[in-house]
Structure formats: C-alpha cells, structure tokens
Amino acid sequence: MIKTLVSPCSVYGFGSQKPKFDRSCTKVKPRVVRMELTITQPDDWHLHLRDSDLLHAVVPHSASHFKRAIVMPNLKPPVATTAAAITYRESIMKALPSGTSFDPLMTLYLTDKTQPDEIKLARESGVVYAVKLYPAGATTNSQDGVTDLFGKCLPVLEEMVKQNMPLLVHGEVTDPSIDVFDREKIFIETVLQPLIQRLPQLKVVMEHITTMDAVNFVESCKEGSVGATVTPQHLLLNRNALFQGGLQPHNYCLPVLKREIHREAIVKAVTSGSKKFFLGTDSAPHERTRKETSCGCAGIYSAPVALSLYAKVFDEAGALDKLEAFTSFNGPDFYGLPRNSSKITLKKSPWKVPDVFSFSFGEIVPMFAGETLQWQPLN
C-alpha cells in the first residue's frame, strides 16, 4: 500500500521548489509529496551470518527487517550435516535480540561425500530447507565444494527430487583458464542446462545472478522449477564501481560485478513482475581489515541497507507497485512456504548510511557507506 501525503506549504527536508503557475498564470503554492510504502514483511533468501563474534554483530541487522532468511552453510568447517545445521541454528537463535521473531532457515553444504540418507534426515528435521552447491574454489570457504556433480553427487540430487529439496547454485565454473567475467555464462552452458535436462523435476535456485545470460536462462525455464535470487549490488552497481577513484575493496564480491548491459537486464527482469526472481541479499560481512588488505575477501555487507536499496531500484524504475511481490511473495511461493502476515513500512525520507559499524573485534563497512539514501524502513 502506498500512502501519498501532500502538504501545501511545508518542505519536509527535500529542498525548496521553483514557483509554479497554473494555466491562468496564477502562482500555485509549492506542493511536496511524502511517500510511505507498507508491504508484507520480506524474507532474505540468501544470507551469510557467519559465526562467533561476527554472528552476534550482524544478525540484529537482518532480524530487524526480515522475517525469515535462508542461511548459507559455508562456515569453517562447513555445515554439511543435519546435525551441524541444527547446532548452527541454535547458535543463531541465541544471538538474536530478545523479542525477535526472526526465523533462520538452514541449508546443507553439498560435498562429494554427501549421502542420500543425509537428505532424508534434512527433510525430516524441519529446519533444513535447501542444499547449497559451491563448485570447489568458487567463493569464500568453498574449498570443500563439489568437484564431480554428475558422478559422486548424482544419487544425492536424485534423492533431493524425491524429497522436494531445492538445490541452491553458486553458478560459476572455476577453471582458471576461463575469464572471471564469463564464468556464470559458461556454468549455465556446461553445468546448469545439462543438470536441468537430466533432472527436470529438481527445483533449482540460481543464486545472486549477475548476467543477461542468467536472466535469459531463468526466464526460459518452467515457472516453479528454476528461480533466481538477486542482490542489491548487482542491481545498482556495474564493474566500474570496483575501480572508480582507485581500487574499491568494499565493492568486491563473488560473482564479481559485471558490465552495465548486464545490470540493466537484471533490473528489467526484477521490475517486470516476473515471479521467477526474488530477494536474496547475499549480505556477506567481513571485518574491515580483511577487506582492506593485499588479498581482500569477497563479500558486500548489505543487510542494514538492503531494503532501502531495493526500494531505490524499484522507485527509479517506476515499479514500486511490483516491489512487494519481489521482496515478499515470490520467494515463499517458490519454496512452498506461507507468505508472512506481518507488515513493514518504508518511508521516503533521506538518511545517511553509517561509515562503519564498530564492534569489539573491529569494524564492518556497509554497502553505500556514508551515502544518502531516500527510502528507510520504519522498525
């Protein structure tokens, strides 16, 4: 629901307006429009919460805006068993602020050693909702990832079909001879398309898509069988953001930012009203010194600003009426879960993103640090 509030004589922090005249050349008092947008509370279908001190530091940001989140399993050691997922969930629940209703939805880390019986246990647990495919070496803590998807992992994938357990895909090949900007495209051609052809009943989420190729692939698939999460960084930034004014480590993520034509294709897809695309921040916190170093970590910390940034994208595209479906309906519908009943309101009111968030162990720099955003969730 969009509320339009009109004031005939006051400017609520948006600056003065030039005098306007009606057709009779009579001066018209300036009008200022404030907007509030109330939507069903969103879920985050791709989130990194880390563990230990970092978990305690970042989970309140996600819990303040999102009702549920699919939590990534790439810890050290990886969350590769149902027992480990249950233990990790208990740690998350203990780290939540009191009175929070945030619900972490757990995932398993797929390895060459995962067995079909583990998928049965995961489904029976009631807390594991998906299995994550990391090609070995593709991203942070992916060294234990899959090396033989169609060989060692095929029985597991077949059991996932039986259990209606979605496969969440980090869609990049890791062959060092392939250009980093082409790895998503090649993954679609050599891994994802053959996988869908071999197991057409397997539900697949292509995570954090970054290219026109991924958009076209997802749109070509049957609705409800293949979906995609989309991050704020891949909607708002292109690869120039990595180098403007010098190397920008806090804009470095994997999959890496791509050309402007790809960003535009993703924006067009998510603002079109398609049910195949849904919110997944891929918020991935790292302590500042691990980003600003000779070999910085991949990951952008977007949790505190994500809803503001998604609203910015849809507002600028003239598609605010489609924001709620993207943030709050498409994800649960794909996973076969009920939509949330709670609501959240976003107000169009300028606010400045903090330069850093400081904790006892160090600092975390958020996405768009120090910049002014126009939309702000009202907690």
Written in H, E and C, the secondary structure of 125-183 is: HCCEEEEEECECCCCCCCCCCECCCCCCCHHHHHHHHHHCCCEEECCCCCCCCCCHHHH
What are the residue ranges of helices labelled H in 188-336?
A: 193-198, 212-220, 232-236, 260-270, 288-291, 306-316, 323-324, 330-335
Smallest Cα–Cα separation from 249: which of 305, 210, 306, 288? 288
Catalytic residue among 67, 203, 282, 286: 282
* Beta partners for residue 39, in sequence order: 344
- Other beta carbons within 10 Å of 141: 18
Give, in order, the Cα–Cα distances in Å from 216 to each of 87, 268, 284, 348. 38, 11, 26, 33
CB-based contact 146:136 (threshold 8 Å):
yes
18 is catalytic: no
Torsion, CA 130, CA 135, CA 138, CA 143, rounded to 10: 90
Q: What is the bridge-based pairing of β-strands 167-169 and 226-230?
A: unpaired
Q: Which of 185, 203, 208, 234 is catalytic?
A: 208
Q: Please confirm, yes or no, whether 262 is among the known catalytic residues.
A: no
User: Is-catalytic flag, 112?
Assistant: no
Among 61, 65, 67, 132, the active-site one is 132
Does residue 208 have an active-site annotation?
yes
| The residue type at 104 | P
- Identify the active-site residue in 61, 65, 170, 276: 170
Residue 234 annotated among the catalytic residues of the structure: no
Which is the catalytic residue, given 43, 48, 234, 347? 48
Confirm if 326 and 314 have CB atoms less than 8 A apart: yes
Give backbone dihedrals phi and psi of 31, rounded to 5 degrees, phi first.
-120, 135
Which of 43, 44, 46, 213 is labelled catalytic?
Answer: 46
What's the CA gap between 300 and 232, in Å, rounded?
10
Nearest to 207 by CA among 155, 116, 110, 133: 133
Owner of token pair 């495919």:
133
203 is annotated as an active-site residue: no
Residue ranges of E strands in 329-369:
343-352, 357-359, 362-364
What is the set of active-site residues? 46, 48, 132, 170, 208, 282
